[in-house]
């Protein structure tokens, strides 16, 4: 029996249509050609502003969800076909719906712990205010006297007032306590302890500095109590480890904070065994309310045997990775984090720069900035980094490199280029987090190598950490390209967002506001008014894409989330305002009214 080309073409079209309908959960076309009524949706949201973040930045008014997936995005009239007797229908009354936020670089267990402990909240403090806050925590924990450690978080060293004010062991020694104290700086790379803490950590006048850190000393060579970079490890390792119950409370607190912000997926950028264990347990109990991705950190010691390290990561992946992503949030383990350098801000200045930092050799009132003796250091030189990256790529593990200074970013890009050439057939998602200073010659390499810059957008503002602790130390040329989101966007890089919480307070909406204004908090005064520098702002649509679709791409999840399209998982949020149209300076005040993951509401505001 023969068939005409017309008949074959029609049959082929019918097969494609049936397959598409099946994929989206729709009814196939009946023999007569008219579409059958689609199966009723579980949930329909109508009469809203649906910001899809699809390839065309389309807008819609209604969305229908069945089995955890989106089956329809379009008009209110079209959504009526999906409403059945058992459908839950919500009239949004014009409210805005957009994809759930994807945070591409954070530290959730530490963030949750910070919410539950003595926390200075990144506040600008005088030395007296610092002491009062810490003393209040001591007074509230008198049952821990005299030997229990007090671990304080949320100290923003660069925000001490007046500019340049420092605290040290003597500051903590003056408090009314016998307890050892350690205070963590928000940069995650500096601590200060009292003299009892120094003694317990066996840090003395004779203690040598380490390759990746510094024991700050006074003019007589005595430790001041401030430990930077790797020098802090000798202290942190003697702190009592949180119990399993403590970690569980912290993880649950982190999930609470995330869903209130509208975060539906996250990357734990330095996942410890404890973090993996507790979030995995919560996942197995069905209590996970955001999709968790976990990047295992690689130390310099680990990198000495790249093949063995890759094998160890494969074992962790086999133990914890839940496999294919579905409606219920689960866990993936397919990333490894390599930390190339430290921080730009003075006085630590552990980031790796192409030219030295500057130092003031002038007199009071007459500064004279000249090249300093240091330009920082790269902790993973090319002969260590490159074979490590290749070994990871061959194992299908995606490198997530943390690089801050322009020299660290340049060497990271060099290594990722080696990886691309060595493992061309792997569809690896490569990323560099922070990238606060990038050589202009490297802007275009992000797109060329398909490397996602994962930027802490909230850092692109004037404030003590940028003006006081950076501007003069970098000089005009480098300060003009600080936080290069505008230049990277102009070079068509795929910019993603990572909050770095708890290095900063978790505030995704303020970060989006800063990305499109490069302005900070007016309450900080005229010294920090205006824009950070001449870098271009991100267009509003690009800023929203950074914290949705682009971060989903970074996490190899863009086929399932990051935009609101038929067939994708129903990860979405309802907002109290239209973030596409409100004045830019009001975006930071956005309130999330509902957070949905895989079609299931995991958070509702009281008034929604």
Beta strands, E only, 443-538:
451-455, 496-497
Residues near 462 by beta carbon (within 8 Å), at least 6 away in sequence: 519, 520, 527, 528, 529, 530, 531, 532
**Percent of the chain, pLDDT > 90?**
85
Q: What is the pLDDT of residues 115-132, one digit of tens each?
A: 999 999 888 899 999 999
**Segment of 6-10, 23-27, 154-158, 451-455 carrying the highest mean pLDDT:** 451-455
Cis peptide before 198 (omega within 30 of 0): no
Mean pLDDT in residue range 417-426: 94
Strands (E) across 487-587 are located at: 496-497, 572-575
pTM for the structure as a whole: 0.88
pLDDT band at 10 (very low <50, low <70, confident <90, very high): very low
Identify the CA nearest to 406 among candidates 398, 414, 397, 417. 414
pLDDT tens, residue by residue, 46-89: 999 999 999 999 999 999 999 999 999 999 999 999 999 999 99
How far apart CA 198 and CA 181 sit, in angstroms, is: 10
DSSP type of residue 519: B
Compute the distance between CA of residue 496 and CA of residue 557 in angstroms, rounded to an integer: 13
**Hey, what are 406's tokens?**
């322009």
What value does the mean pLDDT take over residues 463-468? 90
- CATH ID of 108-236, from 3.10.310.70, 3.30.200.20, 1.10.10.10, 2.70.98.40: 3.10.310.70
**pLDDT(314) > 60:** yes
Give the strand pairing for 331-339 and 291-298.
Answer: parallel
Please name every residue paired with 99 in a beta bridge, in sequence order, or none if there are none.
572
Task: Provide the pLDDT for residue 34.
Answer: 58
Q: Would you say residue 15 has pLDDT above 60? A: no
Q: Mean per-residue pLDDT for 503-528?
A: 93
pLDDT digits (tens, 9 = 90+) for 144-191: 999 999 999 989 887 888 878 999 999 999 999 999 999 998 777 799
Query: What CA–CA distance (Å, rounded) separates 552 from 103?
Result: 9
In this prediction, residue 5 carries a pLDDT of 38
pLDDT of residue 368: 96
Q: What is the pLDDT of residue 187?
A: 74
pLDDT at 514 over 50: yes
Degrees to nearest 5, angle at CA 22 with 17 and 25: 120
Tokens at residue 313, please?
């990561």
Confidence at 343, pLDDT banded by 50, 70, 90? very high
User: What average pLDDT does range 519-533 have in this prediction?
Assistant: 90
Summarize pLDDT for 433-448 with one digit per residue, the tens. 999 999 999 999 999 9
6 pLDDT above the threshold of 70: no
* % of the chain exceeding 70 in pLDDT: 94
Predicted pLDDT of residue 525 = 84
CB neighbour list of residue 500: distance below 8 Å, 6 or more residues apart = 105, 106, 107, 269, 433, 434, 456
561: preceding bond cis by omega (within 30 degrees):
no
pLDDT of residue 607: 85
110 forms beta bridges with none
Map out the domains of the chain as residue ranges: 108-236
The alpha carbon of residue 524 and the mean position of all alpha carbons in its chain are separated, in whole angstroms, by 25
């Amino acid at each position: 029996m023969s068939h005409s080309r017309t008949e074959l073409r029609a049959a082929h079209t019918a097969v494609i249509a049936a397959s598409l309908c099946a994929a989206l959960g729709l009814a196939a076309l009946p023999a007569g050609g008219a579409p059958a009524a689609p199966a009723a949706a579980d949930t329909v949201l109508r009469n809203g502003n649906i910001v899809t973040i699809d390839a065309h930045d389309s807008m819609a008014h209604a969305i229908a969800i069945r089995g955890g997936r989106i089956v329809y995005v379009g008009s209110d009239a079209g959504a009526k076909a999906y409403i059945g007797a058992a459908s839950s229908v919500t009239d949004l009354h014009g409210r805005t719906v957009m994809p759930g936020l994807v945070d591409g670089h954070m530290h959730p267990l530490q963030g949750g712990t910070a919410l539950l402990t003595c926390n200075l909240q990144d506040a600008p403090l005088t030395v007296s205010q610092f002491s009062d806050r810490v003393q209040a925590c001591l007074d509230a924990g008198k049952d821990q006297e005299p030997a229990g450690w007090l671990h304080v978080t949320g100290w923003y060293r660069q925000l001490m007032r007046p500019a340049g004010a420092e605290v040290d062991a003597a500051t903590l020694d003056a408090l009314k306590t016998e307890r050892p104290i350690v205070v963590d700086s928000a940069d995650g790379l500096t601590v200060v302890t009292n003299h009892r803490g120094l003694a317990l950590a066996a840090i003395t006048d004779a203690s040598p500095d380490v390759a990746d850190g510094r024991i700050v000393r006074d003019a007589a060579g005595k430790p001041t109590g401030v430990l930077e970079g790797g020098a802090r490890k000798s202290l942190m390792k003697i702190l009592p480890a949180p119990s399993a119950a403590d970690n569980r409370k912290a993880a649950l607190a982190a999930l609470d904070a995330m869903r209130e912000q509208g975060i539906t997926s996250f990357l734990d950028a330095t996942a410890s065994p404890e973090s993996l264990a507790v979030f995995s347990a919560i996942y197995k109990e069905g209590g996970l309310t955001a999709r968790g991705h976990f990047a295992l950190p690689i130390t310099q010691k680990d990198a000495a045997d790249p093949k063995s390290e890759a094998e160890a990561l494969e074992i962790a992946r086999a133990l914890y990775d839940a496999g294919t992503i579905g409606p219920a949030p689960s866990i993936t383990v397919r990333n490894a984090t390599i930390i190339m350098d430290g921080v730009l801000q003075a006085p630590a200045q552990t980031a790796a720069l192409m030219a030295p930092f500057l130092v003031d050799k002038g007199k009071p009132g007459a500064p004279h900035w000249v090249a300093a003796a240091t330009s920082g250091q790269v902790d993973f030189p090319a002969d260590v980094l490159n074979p490590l990256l290749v070994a990871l790529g061959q194992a299908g593990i995606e490198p997530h490199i943390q690089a801050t200074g322009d020299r660290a970013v340049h060497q990271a890009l060099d290594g990722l280029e080696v990886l691309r050439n060595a493992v061309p057939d792997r569809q690896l998602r490569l990323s560099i987090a922070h990238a606060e200073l990038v050589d202009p010659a490297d802007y275009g390499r992000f797109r060329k190598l398909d490397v996602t810059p994962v930027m802490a957008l909230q850092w692109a503002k004037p404030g003590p950490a940028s003006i006081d602790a950076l501007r003069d130390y970098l000089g005009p040329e480098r300060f003009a390209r600080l936080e290069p989101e505008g230049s990277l966007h102009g070079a068509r890089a795929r910019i993603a967002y990572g909050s770095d919480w708890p290095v900063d307070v978790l505030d995704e909406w303020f970060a989006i506001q800063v990305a499109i204004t490069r302005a900070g908090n007016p309450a900080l005064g005229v010294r920090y008014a205006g824009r950070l520098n001449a870098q271009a702002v991100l267009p509003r649509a690009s800023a929203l894409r950074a914290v949705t679709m682009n971060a989903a791409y970074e996490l190899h999840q863009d086929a399932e989330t990051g935009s609101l399209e038929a067939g994708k998982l129903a990860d979405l949020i309802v907002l109290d305002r239209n973030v596409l149209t409100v004045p830019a300076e009001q975006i930071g005040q956005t309130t999330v009214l509902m957070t949905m993951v895989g079609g299931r509401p995991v958070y509702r505001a009281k008034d929604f």
